């Protein structure tokens, strides 16, 4: 089993949070004027879209490498639709444009990478999400 853990802490002097995993960081905030937000970083819906698109971009590279293909250009756009109260993601659309270095047809590679995309597969299948209040033991 592979485990990935991320952590978040508030950023002093703001109402934003700094998240990290290893040596990589991201700032999370709300839009300007929303619940103290200053638009200093990504909101949850944007992070969800980044998780889907980023995972898929990586999987395109993994699959290409495993098949011995070389990718020229990748362009991925993820649109996350939100509805309701509480607001939840109801749909995510992924558009991909892929060019192979040799000019070949990327259709098979696009399909195979989508079939193994960890984040997309996890969302489609659903995963349990739990919350534990650890109080001051952070």
CB atoms within 10 A of CB 109: 20
How far is the C-alpha of 48 from the C-alpha of 54, rounded, in Å? 10
Instruction: Give the separation between CA 21 and CA 73, rounded to whole angstroms.
Output: 27
Do residues 54 and 72 share a domain? yes
**Structural domain harbouring 84:** 43-126
pLDDT value of residue 10: 96
One domain for residues 66 and 122: yes
Interior CA angle at 91 toward 94 and 75, to 5°? 15
For the segment 76-90, what is each residue's pLDDT rounded down to a tens digit? 999 999 999 999 999
Tens-place pLDDT, residues 24-77:
999 999 999 999 999 999 999 999 999 999 999 999 999 999 999 999 999 999
Question: Does residue 50 share a domain with residue 113?
Answer: yes
pTM of the model: 0.92
Question: Residue 14 and residue 41: Cα distance in Å, rounded?
Answer: 11
Cα 30 → chain centroid: 17
């Amino acid at each position: 089993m592979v485990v990935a853990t991320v952590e978040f802490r508030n950023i002093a002097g703001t109402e934003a949070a700094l998240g990290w995993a290893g040596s990589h960081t991201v700032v999370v905030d709300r839009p300007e004027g929303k619940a103290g937000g200053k638009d200093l970083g990504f909101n949850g819906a944007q992070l969800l879209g980044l998780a889907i698109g980023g995972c898929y971009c990586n999987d395109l590279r993994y699959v290409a490498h495993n098949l011995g293909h070389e990718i020229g250009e990748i362009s991925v756009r993820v649109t996350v639709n939100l509805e309701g109260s509480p607001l939840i993601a109801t749909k995510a659309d992924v558009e991909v444009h892929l060019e192979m270095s040799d000019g070949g047809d990327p259709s098979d590679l696009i399909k195979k990478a989508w079939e193994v995309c960890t984040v997309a597969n996890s969302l489609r299948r659903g995963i349990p999400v739990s919350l534990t209040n650890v109080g001051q033991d952070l």
